[in-house]
């Protein structure tokens, strides 16, 4: 099984985790992206939405679980083929929520390139942006190192 251990700087990552956890908490009762379902499928839509919400909650629990007491003792997170996909999906959901809550004023190009002057942003927005970039980096690691179509 493919496995990636990442040693993170606790002083740098801990404040970002506050922004990640806060955004994840706001996703508890809602989906990061609401599905578009035809009106005549209302019964189906409700059960589908509930299933999607359950999956999102599960994915967020896996992501947040990476940063438990063991992480704070060692600074290490472990990504593998088992948690890679849930973490990838959870990072996407949290990044979308951070964008919606704190990063609305930034254009897509700046967000995706990381070319934002942090010192020009208010503290909360700066922290949300740093968390956004951190989650994007986790996604890149998963895609590069845990792609199931790549051979060992």
At 112-137, the pLDDT tens digits run 787 787 778 899 899 999 999 999 99
Banded model confidence at residue 150, pLDDT cuts 50, 70, 90: low
The pLDDT assigned to 48 comes to 87
For residue 152, with 0-12 CB atoms within 10 Å meaning exposed, 13-18 middle and 19 or more buried, which class applies? Answer: exposed
pTM of the model: 0.90
- Predicted confidence band of residue 3 (pLDDT cuts 50, 70, 90): very high
The owner of tokens 């005549």 is 40
State pLDDT tens for residues 69-123: 999 999 999 999 999 999 999 999 999 999 999 999 888 888 878 778 777 889 9
Lowest pLDDT segment from 22-31, 59-68, 71-80, 118-127:
118-127
What confidence tier does 149 reach under pLDDT thresholds 50, 70, 90? Answer: low
- The answer for 12, left when phi > 0, alpha when psi is -120 to 50, beta otherwise, is alpha
Which residues are CB-contacts of 45 (< 8 A; sequence separation ≥ 6)? 35, 37
The mean pLDDT value for 9-36 works out to 95
Q: Is the pLDDT of residue 152 over 60?
A: no
CB within 8 Å of 67: residues ≥ 6 apart: 13, 17, 77
Contacts 24+ apart (CB under 8 A), 105-114: 112/136
pLDDT at 118: 75
Handedness of CA 102, 107, 113, 116 (dihedral sign): negative
pLDDT of residue 40: 75
């Amino acid at each position: 099984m493919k496995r990636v251990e990442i040693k993170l700087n606790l002083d740098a990552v801990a404040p970002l985790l506050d922004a990640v956890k806060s955004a994840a908490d706001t996703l508890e009762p809602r989906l990061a992206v609401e599905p578009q379902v035809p009106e005549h499928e209302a019964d189906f839509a409700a059960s589908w939405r509930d299933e999607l919400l359950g999956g999102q909650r599960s994915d967020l629990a896996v992501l947040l679980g990476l940063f438990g007491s063991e992480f704070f003792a060692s600074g290490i997170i472990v990504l593998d083929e088992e948690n890679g996909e849930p973490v990838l999906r959870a990072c996407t959901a949290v990044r979308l929520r951070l964008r919606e809550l704190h990063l609305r004023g930034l254009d897509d190009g700046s967000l995706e390139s990381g070319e934002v002057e942090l010192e020009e942003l208010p503290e909360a927005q700066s922290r949300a942006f740093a968390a956004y970039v951190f989650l994007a980096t986790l996604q890149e690691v998963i895609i590069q190192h845990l792609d199931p179509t790549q051979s060992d």
